[in-house]
């Protein structure tokens, strides 16, 4: 029996990278994991590797998408025990190619995405 047996977790940005690794670990410990992200193909692949998971497509910077995510969690009927607010965007470029708009898109959105996800 895992440490999270019977618990429910949400991992934003759970389809790849750190979010996916976290979702796998939470599921391995017994939690049912809801993952969210903007790319449906990646979400489907992630659910297949996680096992005990549900994908909810959406962007956590969009309030309606966050509301839909938490509605799915409520429908599951077991409350929410773990939230891993991991969603973010990245822009790969050389330093001389970075603009103020790119910087703002990456760094301004990360804190705002946490603030739209956590209070719900």
Looking at every residue in the chain, the average pLDDT score rounds to: 86
Q: Is the pLDDT of residue 54 over 90?
A: yes
Rg from Cα positions in the chain: 15
Q: What is the pTM of this model?
A: 0.81
pLDDT digits (tens, 9 = 90+) for 8-32: 999 999 999 999 999 999 999 999 9
pLDDT digits (tens, 9 = 90+) for 66-90: 999 999 999 999 899 999 988 766 6
Q: Is the pLDDT of residue 61 over 90?
A: no
The DSSP annotation for 9-24 comes to EEEETTTSHHHHHHHH
pLDDT digits (tens, 9 = 90+) for 89-110: 666 778 888 788 877 766 665 5
């Amino acid at each position: 029996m895992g440490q999270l047996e019977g618990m429910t977790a949400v991992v934003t940005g759970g389809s790849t990278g750190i979010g996916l690794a976290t979702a796998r670990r939470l599921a391995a410990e017994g939690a049912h994991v809801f993952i969210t992200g903007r790319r449906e193909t990646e979400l489907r692949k992630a659910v297949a590797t996680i096992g005990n998971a549900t994908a909810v497509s959406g962007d956590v910077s969009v309030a309606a998408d966050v509301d839909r995510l938490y509605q799915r969690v409520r429908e599951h009927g077991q409350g929410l025990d773990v939230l891993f607010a991991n969603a973010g965007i990245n822009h790969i470029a050389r330093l001389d190619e970075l603009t103020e708009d790119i910087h703002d898109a990456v760094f301004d959105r990360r804190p705002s995405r946490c603030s739209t996800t956590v209070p719900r």
